[in-house]
Amino acid sequence: MIRRLLIANRGEIAVRIARTAHRLGIDTVGVYSTSDVDALHVDVVDLAVALGGSTPTESYLRAEAVIQAALDAGCDAVHPGYGFLAERADVAHMVVDAGLIWVGPTPEQISLLGDKIAAKRAAVEAGVPTTEAVEVRPGHVPDGLPMPALVKAAAGGGGRGMRIVRSAEQLPEAVVAASREADSAFGDGTVFVEPYIERGRHVEVQIVGDAHGNVIHLGERECSIQRRNQKVLEESPSAGITPEIRAALCDGALALARHIGYRSAGTVEFMVGDPAPGEAATISFLEVNTRLQVEHPVTEAVTGLDLVELQLRVAAGEALPLTQDDVRFDGHAIEVRVVAEDPAAGWLPSTGTVTRFQIGTLAGANPLETGSADVAAVRVDTGFRAGSVVSADYDSLLAKVISHAPTRSEAAAVLARALRSAVVTGVRTNVDAMAALLVEEDFLAARTPTAYLDEHPDVAHAAGPTGDDRVAQLLAAAIADERAARADDRHWGFAPSGWRNLRTQGQRSTWIDGRGDELDVELEASGDGRYHVLVGPFPTPTEDGSLSEDTRRRAEVRATASAQGGRSGISVELEGVRRHLTVERDGDETHVSGPAGRTTWHRAPRFQDHDAAAAGGGPVSPLPGTVLSVHVEEGDDVEDGQLLVVVEAMKMEHKITAPAAATVTEVKVAAGQRVDAGDVLVLLDHPEP
């Protein structure tokens, strides 16, 4: 039996593993870095051991320290979760050699399947459909490879060390970049090239095996909606494949699992091309992930099984408690990954302190005990809470939000509503984009190839409520600000805020939303919570001194205190339509949320500080990270879009390019140097227009 389990991970997966372990009566031991000293997963486990260091290399990747922590705490087993040590065959060996149970496949299976080239050979031997893989290395790329092609790292996963190439001329540079990224992420720069299926579907099959020769599959998941080759939405079952394709995928996954005697939970991944009329679909085996997947909750939802429990039972030597005939599938499940990234800015990661974190829970609810909340048919797996720090040292995943319903359309509707009511502040997130995606026409029609986000830029630029929903939220922010100013003023609270001394005169303010757009508001109070409002650009003086035409929208508004669903807030009645909203002030920001979504506002300063023009400048680092390479020298002439510097942050490479033609006057960084957000990387001298 496993009586005490060390969880060698952090964040939501550590919290999620602890939840199942506690349900099974297993004590838990966690580990943490200096960056995670106050993290949620540290409080959820029974005992937490400090590893020291802030970066993964200094903490979670120190296998010897992790194993010693398990031994010192009297653990029986180690669960690696996903990422970090999860697919390290050498670490699995070390755990077993230390007399501990490794919750995962055998070290030999991890070694075989962790090498994507070796895994393809095994797939061919087992009769799994796949395409040819050609191993390459920087400076040695054979001619004649079919295009388009996909350059992939032989080790690791998560989209790192992967490049799509559409011409032979691009291939050598892509191999160099992919090899460099793979070596940095996994310590192995081996890469290979395989044919790339344009607009294919990424479909994977969940398998589970035990030490007694039993192997089953738990159906498939579609994970086609991705940014930077990383998944952001997963669902089960796939709505875009036929029963024949489903059978071929599941049969192929089982054949491979039986061929190697697979043990524990794993995922066999495929790319499926849309078939031409009268032709069979192209099915290409990609890889096997020898660990629990981020998206495993959708499989749990449709099967009713706990995959972590199955992992723990198999690791303890038990036989699987069910056969393939016992597996049942119920309804449809969709998972969205909430990440600290800005979709409108090319999915640029965002770092900082989370000031408000509320997804799928009522105001004030604390997920500390479970790390998950099942409210309104959604499940939320997270390792974050208000006060948590999003660091550039780790990936950007904040939470996974999962809905389960009888049909796909119902699951999408429930999940969209949960995301619209979510409040996450302090960092930028993809919540608005994902809420918009779930109601988008092509998504609902299951037209979701891997190119979906590229083909739907409007989804990435979704900014929450529109129309009167947005106007009502703006007015809620302005009215709440005016009332707060009066309540806080012990001497002049009877008078209106702003520069007026009569309530019959309009109080003007300018508000800037989360996208940087400015909106002008004028409030004229008439008593009993009623306001005459004007929304739009203020009239401005013209050349002859007269004011420009007043084109502002005029409306009558009534604002009253409200409470709905356990939340206190404000009801804004705009032209006879009442909306129940929640207003939260956080420093100089005001967050407003309601059923239509959420907005963030801050008041523009009344006076502008006109600084002298900067004496020179250049591109800055978008976030804290490490300089991987510098591609220019002082005195170089660069063109618009030319690569200057590559910065690694949040496990991804970010290319910094020239904003226009210029001359490099100074290079301020070197490879290997740590930089902070806003640090100038290269100084540029732009020619006079």
At residue 383, the 3 state secondary structure works out as coil
> What is the identity of the amino acid at 403?
S
Nearest to 331 by CA among 366, 304, 358: 304
pLDDT digits (tens, 9 = 90+) for 381-409: 999 999 999 998 898 999 999 999 999 99
At residue 59, the 3 state secondary structure works out as coil
pLDDT digits (tens, 9 = 90+) for 641-651: 899 998 887 66
Contacts of 227 (CB under 8 A, 6+ apart): 341, 343, 347, 453
At residue 332, the 3 state secondary structure works out as strand
Contacts of 517 (CB under 8 A, 6+ apart): none
Which two tokens mark 420?
Answer: 């619209």
State how far the Cα of 309 lies from the Cα of 281, in Å rounded to an integer: 36
The reported pLDDT for the residue numbered 614 is 41
Phi-psi region at 641: left, alpha or beta (left = phi > 0; alpha = psi -120 to 50): left
User: With helix as H, strand as E and coil as C, how does 628-672 read?
Assistant: EEECCCCCCEECCCCEEEEEEECCEEEEEECCCCEEEEEECCCCC
The reported pLDDT for the residue numbered 133 is 79
At residue 521, the 3 state secondary structure works out as strand
β-pairing, 163-165 vs 191-195, is unpaired
Cα dihedral 210→212→218→221 (10° resolution): 50
β-pairing, 625-630 vs 674-675, is antiparallel
Judge whether 120 and 101 are in contact, CB under 8 Å: no
The reported pLDDT for the residue numbered 367 is 40
Judge whether 195 and 146 are in contact, CB under 8 Å: yes
Residues comprising the chain, all counted: 689
Radius of gyration of the chain (CA): 27
At residue 152, the 3 state secondary structure works out as strand
Crossing angle between the packed helical segments 89-97 and 107-114, to the nearest 10 degrees: 170
The reported pLDDT for the residue numbered 197 is 85
Q: Rounded to 5, what percent of the chain is helix, strand, coil? A: 25, 35, 40
Judge whether 281 and 100 are in contact, CB under 8 Å: no
The reported pLDDT for the residue numbered 505 is 62
State how far the Cα of 331 lies from the Cα of 302, in Å rounded to an integer: 6
What are φ and ψ of residue 497, in 5° steps? -80, 170
pLDDT digits (tens, 9 = 90+) for 89-136: 999 999 999 999 999 999 999 999 988 888 988 999 999 988 777 888
pLDDT digits (tens, 9 = 90+) for 198-226: 889 999 999 999 999 999 999 999 999 99
DSSP code at position 224? E
The reported pLDDT for the residue numbered 501 is 55
- In the numeric block, the tokens 């050609």 are attached to 134
**Long-range contacts of range 83-89, CB-CB < 8 Å, 24 or more positions apart?**
83/9, 83/13, 83/158, 83/395, 84/8, 84/9, 84/56, 84/60, 85/8, 85/60, 85/61, 86/9, 86/290, 86/291, 86/292, 87/114, 87/155, 87/156, 87/157, 87/289, 87/290, 87/291, 88/63, 89/114
Contacts of 605 (CB under 8 A, 6+ apart): none
The reported pLDDT for the residue numbered 279 is 73
- In the numeric block, the tokens 């192997």 are attached to 215
Exposed/middle/buried for residue 619 (C-beta within 10 Å: 0-12, 13-18, 19+): middle
Which two tokens mark 354?
Answer: 């989370």
Q: Which residues of the chain have pLDDT under 70?
A: 156-158, 276-278, 361-377, 486-505, 562-568, 606-616, 650-651, 689
pLDDT digits (tens, 9 = 90+) for 594-624: 889 889 898 887 665 444 334 457 888 877 7
Nearest to 416 by CA among 302, 350, 336: 336
Enumerate domains of the chain plus CATH numbers. 4-103 (3.40.50.20), 331-462 (3.30.470.20), 467-603 (3.30.700), 625-685 (2.40.50.100)
This prediction's pTM: 0.84
